[in-house]
Amino acid sequence: GAVVSQHPSRVICKSGTSVKIECRSLDFQATTMFWYRQFPKQSLMLMATSNEGSKATYEQGVEKDKFLINHASLTLSTLTVTSAHPEDSSFYICSARDLRSKNEKLFFGSGTQLSVL
């Protein structure tokens, strides 16, 4: 099946710093990727849709200046948490659509656990 690689898997940073998370589709091209946030024992909350070559589409309540998304190539999307604060600590997960399959399927990265001190 399709493979989505997410890096880093875990990051600890000081309050006020920025953190970049990468999401790569390893064996397919992804014109669209999605970024989710997940709190402990809760469901996945869609933050934004990342579109290759254009601006990301953010869900209501998600600050676009806080969570910068760049989708510069067909295999890479990045999420940058700017000026991180402790409340930004969470599990961030990306997913990508594999358009090669007859019916679209969504594959997820392994997630990034962000801890802001």
Partner 1 sequence: GQQLNQSPQSMFIQEGEDVSMNCTSSSIFNTWLWYKQDPGEGPVLLIALYKAGELTSNGRLTAQFGITRKDSFLNISASIPSDVGIYFCAGQNTNAGKSTFGDGTTLTVKP
Residues 8-67 that bind partner 1 (CB under 8 A): 9, 32, 34, 41-44, 46, 49
Among 7, 76, 82, 107, binds partner 1 (CB under 8 A): 107
How many angstroms separate the CA atoms of 113 and 2, rounded? 22
Coil, helix or strand at residue 11: strand
Check binding of 108 to partner 1 (CB under 8 A): yes
Given a contact cutoff of 8 angstroms between Cβ atoms, the answer to whether 10 and 112 are in contact is: yes
Select 34 or 67, whichever has its Cβ closest to partner 1. 34
Check binding of 6 to partner 1 (CB under 8 A): yes
Select 84 or 97, whichever has its Cβ closest to partner 1. 97
Select 14 or 41, whichever has its Cβ closest to partner 1. 41
- Residue reference for tokens 């000081």: 14
Check binding of 103 to partner 1 (CB under 8 A): yes
The upper half-sphere exposure of residue 4, i.e. CA atoms within 13 Å in the direction of its Cβ, equals 27
Select 49 or 82, whichever has its Cβ closest to partner 1. 49
- Residue reference for tokens 């601006």: 55
How many angstroms separate the CA atoms of 32 and 107, rounded? 11
Given a contact cutoff of 8 angstroms between Cβ atoms, the answer to whether 80 and 18 are in contact is: yes
Q: Which residues bind partner 1 (CB under 8 A)?
A: 1, 4, 6, 9, 32, 34, 41-44, 46, 49, 91, 93, 95, 97, 103-111, 113
